[in-house]
Amino acid sequence: MAKKLHYFDVNGIGESIRYILHYGGQKFEDVRYQISGWPDKKVKDALPFGQLPLYEEGDRSLHQSLAIARYVASQSKLLPNDLWEQAVVDSYVMTIYDFWFTKVIPFVKETDAAKKATLKKEILDESIHFFFSRFDKVLKEHNGFFIGKLTWAEFILVGIIEAGNLFLDYEIEKNYPHVKAAVQKVLSLPGVKEYIAKRKVYAL
Amino acid sequence: MAKKLHYFDVNGIGESIRYILHYGGQKFEDVRYQISGWPDKKVKDALPFGQLPLYEEGDRSLHQSLAIARYVASQSKLLPNDLWEQAVVDSYVMTIYDFWFTKVIPFVKETDAAKKATLKKEILDESIHFFFSRFDKVLKEHNGFFIGKLTWAEFILVGIIEAGNLFLDYEIEKNYPHVKAAVQKVLSLPGVKEYIAKRKVYAL
């Protein structure tokens, strides 16, 4: 069945899905929308809840980035079989998203320059350490992976770090050696590596 | 293995998990913390990311409400076997959480009275209709369930509606007959019904 991923022409919360698809050798049409032209009313009104990404497989479609990522991960052999292991992976994925949606996104959306600077300072001085020191510890204790082997959680980690670094003009992973190693590991994976070599450099 | 759910003594994002456990006849210790005494530093510092709920099964533990809900749902036969169906259910669950975390929680956290009133008006005049008219349509088209049969998504829907109603002093479901019917259906399920009959009435 023909696969299509619809998302903006940035990394954001869509790039992890692209990495997972490329890692699994899944052929898909990478449909991209320019943020400068968004919202495109015709496209937005056709989306189930007005949001990208949207994933299509034949005549069926799926919304919500984590629902899509988890599904394509199952097709790329990145979802463990054991239900408890799946749940532990889910818990880290959702915590990575907590960092994104409760810290980075409020900063991105803030339009008042002084408040924006305050939010950035809080992220750089506190939030990054709170989340990433804990991720680092978990990765250290589990052979470089969240549960001791490669799953889709490492892909979500890398996607959010890259998008965060772009918005914050920072290197989130710099003080966390096990996080940094996980990023390098994912970016060097077969399929991912070749995709990155051909991919444009994202900019704001 | 002994099961324990640690959460506040409110409905919030924990009550769906309690419903799912009771529906499945899963015995568990329902450990509750008073919000008035929170943060209890000793408890909070022992949590993986400082957050409740926490679920324990024997000597292993799991954080993040949706990771817990999905896992206990798998044990209560509320998780479909088909991976695509699982993903569609995930997508609705995450959209229900979008309503909670991007609309209700900012209102709950706002301390400025005027801004709080503005947020409440937006939720009552716009957000509820945006989300719940769409949920209503999906339920109508699928025999009263998100995917045509009972899954954990209906439990998450009910939990968030009840918690939202408590905070907003409102009846979110009142104009959405299929949502309202789904709420009644879940609350009348064996296990859930008996739990509710014994449960305290939540108040702010």
Q: Do residue A67 and residue B84 have CB atoms under 8 angstroms apart?
A: no
* DSSP summary character for residue A27: -
Domain co-membership, B22 together with B91: no
CATH code for the domain in which residue A15 is found: 3.40.30.10
Q: Which long-range contacts (CB under 8 A, 24 or more apart) does A25-29 make?
A: A25/A76, A25/A191, A26/A72, A26/A75, A26/A76, A27/A3, A28/A3, A28/A4, A29/A2, A29/A3, A29/A4, A29/A5
B94 near A CB under 8 A: yes
Contact (Cβ atoms closer than 8 angstroms) between residue B17 and residue B53: yes
**pLDDT of amino acid A204:** 84
- Residue ranges, chain A, pLDDT below 50: none
Residue A42: which domain range?
3-77+190-198
Domain co-membership, A87 together with A143: yes
Domain co-membership, A88 together with A170: yes
B54 near A CB under 8 A: no
Position B22 confidence tier, pLDDT thresholds 50, 70, 90: very high
Q: Do residue A64 and residue B134 have CB atoms under 8 angstroms apart?
A: no
How many domains, in total, are found in chain A?
Answer: 2
Q: Which amino acid is at B190?
A: P
In a domain, B203, yes or no: no
Measure in Å the smallest separation between the Cα of A165 and chain B Cα atoms.
Answer: 22
Mean pLDDT of chain B: 97
Among chain A residues, CA nearest to B97: A64
Omega cis (within 30) before A177: no
ipTM: 0.97
Domain co-membership, B66 together with B88: no
Q: Do residue B91 and residue A63 have CB atoms under 8 angstroms apart?
A: yes
Domain co-membership, B26 together with B67: yes
Contact (Cβ atoms closer than 8 angstroms) between residue A103 and residue A110: no
B21 near A CB under 8 A: no
Residue B204, pLDDT above cutoff 90 = no
Tokens read off for A158:
């890398």
Residue B114, pLDDT above cutoff 90 = yes
In a domain, A103, yes or no: yes
pTM of the model: 0.97
In a domain, A204, yes or no: no
Measured between CB atoms, which of A50, A57, A87 is closest to B67?
A87
Question: Taking the C-alpha atoms of A112, B99, A152 and A22 in order, what is their torsion angle to the nearest 10 degrees?
Answer: -80
Instruction: Round to whole Å and give the CA distance between B85 and B146.
Output: 10
Q: What is the distance of C-alpha A181 from the center of its chain? A: 17
In a domain, A203, yes or no: no
Domain co-membership, B91 together with B183: yes
Query: Which chain A residues are closer than 8 Å to B86 by Cβ?
Result: 70-71
Query: Which chain A residues are closer than 8 Å to B74 by Cβ?
Result: 83
In a domain, A110, yes or no: yes
Among chain A residues, CA nearest to B131: A49
A91 near B CB under 8 A: yes
Query: Please, what's the b/e burial string for B35-59 (b: 16 or more CB within 10 A of its CB; e: otherwise)?
Result: eeeeeeeebeeeebbeebbbbbbee
Omega cis (within 30) before B53: yes
Instruction: Round to whole Å and give the CA distance between B189 and A67.
Output: 27
Residue B37, pLDDT above cutoff 90 = no
CATH code for the domain in which residue A107 is found: 1.20.1050.10
Measured between CB atoms, which of A66, A71, A95 is closest to B94?
A66
Measure in Å the smallest separation between the Cα of B197 and chain A Cα atoms.
Answer: 30
B95 near A CB under 8 A: yes
A66 near B CB under 8 A: yes
In a domain, B204, yes or no: no
Domain co-membership, B51 together with B93: no
In a domain, B65, yes or no: yes
In a domain, B144, yes or no: yes
Query: Which chain A residues are closer than 8 Å to B64 by Cβ?
Result: 90-91, 94-95
Domain co-membership, B66 together with B152: no
Domain co-membership, A114 together with A177: yes
How would you classify residue A55: left for phi > 0, otherwise alpha for psi between -120 and 50, otherwise beta? beta
Domain co-membership, B88 together with B135: yes
Domain co-membership, B100 together with B132: yes
pLDDT tens digits along B44-86? 999 999 999 999 999 999 999 999 999 999 999 999 999 999 9
Query: Which chain A residues are closer than 8 Å to B108 by Cβ?
Result: none
Residue of B47, B64, B141 for testing the chain A interface, max A β-carbons within 10 Å: B64
Domain co-membership, B146 together with B113: yes
B83 near A CB under 8 A: yes
From A34-48, B146-160, B172-186, the region with the lowest mean pLDDT = A34-48
